[in-house]
Amino acid sequence: MPSNPTASNPEDSALTFPCRFPIKAIGRADADFDALIVGIVRRHAPDLTEGAVHTRSGSKGNYLAVTVTIEADSRAQLDAIYQELSHHPRVIMAL
């Protein structure tokens, strides 16, 4: 049986680049939270397209989920975005 290169090498990815990839960040529903997330993502993916950003409020309005869909060029690009998002004090969760 042939070996599975993805299973043997964690650096390999099931993604084929370039590809469209949604990035979601959740935080308190402050007025500028969506702009903060878009600014972070835009540093790593400057060519955001129209309609790339979607927001959704939590059921009580306390939290906001911001999804930014990018044209991802590499795993390194995605890792850099997730690292910056997850280290920002206003981001509760990045998916």
Within-domain flag for 25: no
Structural domain range at position 49? 33-65+77-95
Q: What's this model's pTM, rounded to 2 decimal places?
A: 0.84
Alpha-carbon torsion (74, 78, 83, 85), positive or negative = positive
pLDDT at 4: 37
How, if at all, do strands 53-57 and 19-28 pair? unpaired
Measured distance CA(60)–CA(83) in Å, rounded? 28
Residue 1 belongs to some domain of the structure: no
33-80 pLDDT, tens per residue? 999 999 999 999 999 988 999 999 999 999 999 999 999 999 999 999
**Would residue 13 count as lying in a domain?**
no
In a domain, 4, yes or no: no
Residue 95 lies in a domain: yes
pLDDT bin (cut points 50, 70, 90) of residue 13 is: low
